Amino acid sequence: MSDAAETTEPDLAFDEQELLPAVAQDADTGEVLMLAYVTEEALEHTRETGLAHYYSRSRDELWKKGGSSGHTQAIEEVRVDCDGDAILYLVDQDGGACHTGYESCFYRTVDGDVVGERVFDPDEVYE
C-alpha cells in the first residue's frame, strides 16, 4: 500500500561520466569548504559510514576525504538540488578542508586576494 506521508528519495542525475558535483559546507560556520565529485559508490560510502567520500577524477578512484591527512568530514546531512544534479554535504570538518592548509579551498578571491584562514601546515600533515 502507498503511504501519502512517505518521503521519496530524489532521483539523481549523474552525468555521462557517472559523476555529480558535491559541495561541502561546514555545518556550524556555513563556510563553503570545497567542491569535488561523487559517483554513486562514493555517495553510498558517505551515507553508510557517515564520513564524506568523493571520487577523485585525477587519481580515478574512490576517495575518503581525510584518508591521508586525517582531516575527515563527518556528515551532518546530505542534500540534493532541485534537478538532482548536485549534492550538498553539511559536514563537521576536522582540521582544514584544503590540501594547502586553508580551512576552505575557496580561500582566494577571483582578484587573487587571500581571504581564507590557514589552519594547518601541509608540510606537517602530508609526508
Residues annotated in a binding site for Zn(2+): 82, 98, 105
**Binding-site sequence positions for Mg(2+):** 81, 83, 85
- The footprint of a second copy (CB under 8 A) covers 7-10, 21, 23, 25, 29-32, 34-35, 43, 47, 77-83, 86-88, 98-100, 102, 105-113, 115
**Binding-site sequence positions:** 81-83, 85, 98, 105
Alpha-carbon distance of 73 to 60, in angstroms, equals: 21
For 98, counting Cβ atoms within 10 Å of its Cβ (0-12 exposed, 13-18 middle, 19+ buried), the class is buried
Compare residues 78 and 119 and give the one whose CB is closer to a second copy. 78
Alpha-carbon distance of 109 to 85, in angstroms, equals: 26
What is the nearest approach in angstroms of a second copy to the Cβ of residue 72? 18
3-state secondary structure 5-24: CCCCCCCCCCCCCCCEEEEE
Compare residues 23 and 74 and give the one whose CB is closer to a second copy. 23
